[in-house]
């Protein structure tokens, strides 16, 4: 399950793990104009872990999910 909310300066997507046990903590993705952050609470450290990606990194990640092993470079369309 996931939710999408539009905030003042970002779009917030929350991914909820509804699969079998053990369940993972929710993942929150914040899409800002300049970057995307991915956050998840870590119960081992009792803190939120955050990574920051550029929009190009997110684009590459999305493409990588559907590609076989290898090295790739995405070339923008000249539209």
pLDDT digits (tens, 9 = 90+) for 20-74: 777 899 999 999 999 999 999 999 999 999 999 999 999 999 989 888 889 988 8
6-15 per-position pLDDT tens digit: 999 999 999 9
**Nearest-angstrom CA–CA distance, 43 and 74:** 37
Tell me the pTM. 0.82
The continuous run of DSSP H or E covering 60 comes out as: helix 55-64
Per domain, the residue ranges of the chain are 2-64
**Nearest-angstrom CA–CA distance, 12 and 27:** 10
- Residue 51: which of 6, 42, 7 has the closest Cα? 42
């Amino acid at each position: 399950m996931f939710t999408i909310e539009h905030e003042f300066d970002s779009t917030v997507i929350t991914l909820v793990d509804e699969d079998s046990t053990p369940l993972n903590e929710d993942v929150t993705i914040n899409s800002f104009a300049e970057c995307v952050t991915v956050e998840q609470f870590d119960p081992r450290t009792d803190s939120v872990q955050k990574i920051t990606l550029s929009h190009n990194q997110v684009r590459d990640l999305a493409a990588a999910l559907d590609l076989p092993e290898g090295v790739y470079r995405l070339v923008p369309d000249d539209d």
